[in-house]
Amino acid sequence: MPSIAPDGYTPQTCETLPFYLDTKLPSNIKLGGSPKEWKVQEVGDGNLNLVFIVEGKEKTIIVKQALPYVRAAGEGWQLSLTRAFFEYNALDLETKFASHDLIPHVYFFDQDMALFTMEFLTPHVILRKELIAGKTFASLSENIGLFLAKTLFHTSDIGMNAKDKKALVSKFAVNHELCKITEDLIFTEPYYNAERNNWTSPQLDEDVKKVWQDQEMIQVAMKYKYKFMTEAQALLHGDLHSGSIMVTETETKVIDPEFSFMGPMAFDIGNYIGNLFFAYFARPYWEQDKSKCAHYQQWLVEQIDVTWQVFEAHFRELWDENLEGEAYPTEIYQNGLGIEALRVAQDDFMATLFEETLVNAGLEMNRRIIGFAGVADFKDIPDPDIRANNERRALKLARELIVNAKQYKDFISIQKYAEQC
């Protein structure tokens, strides 16, 4: 895996891509028509990569190519191309455990070009846009709960043998550049006057200064930065938020795992939950009918609660059936102390994971409001006074989740606090 752009690497354009694909696409992927007839659009609106839609007469595909820098920041922020390798391999593993019911098909990967092609999802739409629009999805919480349970369990020491788990840790440890971005943007920069921070100013200036002076909260943030850097519990998506999920009325697809690495399980779960809380606190702007707003906020909290319930139930079920994982060995539990002892171990594990999930949700909320790369839920509110008022409420909940996570055992009590915010 080269750490700089290799010989022959060139960023693709709408003009060059059809002729590149003509020689690279697998024979079973037929777009139809000649390359000159294919319609190509560059649609990447994220922070890092080029993303193309390539439409032939018979089939449409997505092409994603890494750039040797952070797209949102420009060429001054250099970044190696190896992230494409990790995204491709993460998609492959996620498919193995969560299936194409939840993961798009990937057709081929070109390591030298830091490029891969994948299924064009239609009529799927980015979840964040749908939440802003006030839409609901009957299977969302079930699908995300299953995705989290399957991917986290099967890549952990509870679900894997020690040899394979350590090999997986070694493989993804090289994704250190994107881990460094996470370490800086989530765990460090929101807690001091960092150059890349970008909050609603001057409306939130005093609120942000209070965060920088909040020793109790910062100490927890630093503790969790250390956990993020040192706890290789499972293979994480690494950037699981409502912009990394595409939905229809009946389907859910998880995309964009380029930040994948072996880390603490609560990071993925907390990131997703934190982003649903963004939708919760932004809702009064997007739906000004108070009754409809309250109804949708209730639905969002139910999504958070059910996602956790599905995750926990399925994770425990996989654990009960486990024959391969070497943590909590079957010789001691299923075949030794017995199922009741296993239940005690599971209860303790889940209680810790719930607490850590709440803290990570709060850290994600602080990061998106104070730091680099905000979210459309808030950023698309044109009036800065209204935007700041909603963000201030979210910051209040974020602090509560970070500092007082131990006090909460369920999301119903968290909802009561959120309502007070």
Residue 370 reports pLDDT greater than 80: yes
- 64: tokens are 């994603």
**pLDDT-derived band of residue 2, with 50, 70 and 90 as boundaries?**
very low
Residue 122 reports pLDDT greater than 80: yes
Neighbours of 162 (CB within 10 A): 12
What local confidence, expressed as pLDDT, does residue 46 receive? 64
User: Among 54-68, 76-90, 350-364, which is the least confidently predicted range?
Assistant: 76-90
Mean pLDDT confidence for 338-364: 96
Phi and psi for 51 in degrees, rounded to 5? -135, 125
Q: What is the pLDDT of residues 69-79, one digit of tens each?
A: 877 677 777 88
What local confidence, expressed as pLDDT, does residue 3 receive? 42
Q: Where are the domains of the chain?
A: 17-119, 125-420
Q: What is the pLDDT of residues 375-385, one digit of tens each?
A: 999 999 999 99
Residue 55 reports pLDDT greater than 50: yes
The domain defined by 17-119 carries CATH number 3.30.200.20 = yes
What local confidence, expressed as pLDDT, does residue 243 receive? 95
Q: What is the pLDDT of residues 294-331, one digit of tens each?
A: 999 999 999 999 999 999 999 999 999 988 899 999 88
CB 318 within 8 A of CB 149: yes
Q: What is the pLDDT of residues 158-193, one digit of tens each?
A: 999 999 999 999 999 999 999 999 999 999 999 999
Euclidean distance between CA atoms 332 and 336, whole angstroms: 4
Task: Please state, rounded to an integer, the average pLDDT across all residues of the chain.
Answer: 95
Q: What is the pLDDT of residues 209-248, one digit of tens each?
A: 999 999 999 999 999 999 999 999 999 999 999 999 999 9
Q: Which CATH number fits domain 125-420: 3.30.360.10, 3.40.50.2300, 3.90.1200.10, 3.90.950.20?
A: 3.90.1200.10
What is this structure's pTM? 0.95
Non-local (6+) Cβ contacts of 7 within 8 A are none
Mean pLDDT confidence for 266-293: 98
Can the peptide bond before residue 382 be classed as cis, meaning omega within 30 degrees of 0?
no
